[in-house]
A and B are shown apart, each in its own frame.
Chain A
């Protein structure tokens, strides 16, 4: 049972435009959400997170939006740069869950010149 879903395996965007990566979850107990970025041959690196008490968190070019009623979150990257080309994983955790993360399957973002 996949509790965190990233339904788009890949996304292609032109440099300078906005990239929107989506994530859906089924477990309403999740109360913290994270995005990780992964380059080939490297481990995932933490990018940005959001608590369920917020609906938006921004860090430079990266913004994460959370819609709890829809159990949906999205990562916006603007403007997109070629160096943003990577696999992006959405992950969720819950208070009392021991910092354990449940990951989605990832979305491969390609930013083209």
Chain B
């Protein structure tokens, strides 16, 4: 089945130690998104790609970076994680073609900071 896969499902890192979360998709969608969701809060868009064109949200901290080496893969890098970065990170994909194209989500990576 075509899908969006996030690895790992659970990630524990130390305060200040860089961490990378990955997302892959078999849907061949040209748009990929990264969201951060904290407990009882709405998913918050961090950035997204149209193909290789990177789009950062204005309030995304510089500590968060992303790479998309090809259509299928996208990575979220947190350069120096702080305690406030503990959250669920969701990857989503869609075909660019208007707001009626729903996003398809992975199951997320839960990041804990020690």
Number of residues in A with C-beta < 8 Å to the partner? 29
**Interface 9-mer from B13-21, B35-43, B69-77, B78-86:** B35-43
Query: With A105-B41, A106-B42 as given contacts, are A98 and B102 in contact (CB-CB < 8 Å)?
Result: no
Q: Is the CB of A105 within 8 A of B50?
A: no
Q: Is the CB of B101 within 8 A of A99?
A: yes
Residues of A within 8 A of B103 (CB): 46, 99, 101
Number of residues in B with C-beta < 8 Å to the partner? 29
Number of A-B residue pairs with CB-CB distance less than 8 Å in the complex they form: 63
Residues of A within 8 A of B100 (CB): 32, 49, 51
Please give the distance in Å from B111's CB to the nearest CB on chain A.
15
Which A residues are closer than 8 A to B by beta carbons? Answer: 2, 4, 9, 31-32, 34, 36, 41-46, 49, 51, 89, 93-95, 97-106
Q: Is the CB of B99 within 8 A of A99?
A: yes
Q: Is the CB of B105 within 8 A of A94?
A: no
Q: Is the CB of B42 within 8 A of A104?
A: yes
5 contacting pairs across A/B (C-beta < 8 A): A34-B102, A44-B105, A98-B48, A100-B45, A104-B42
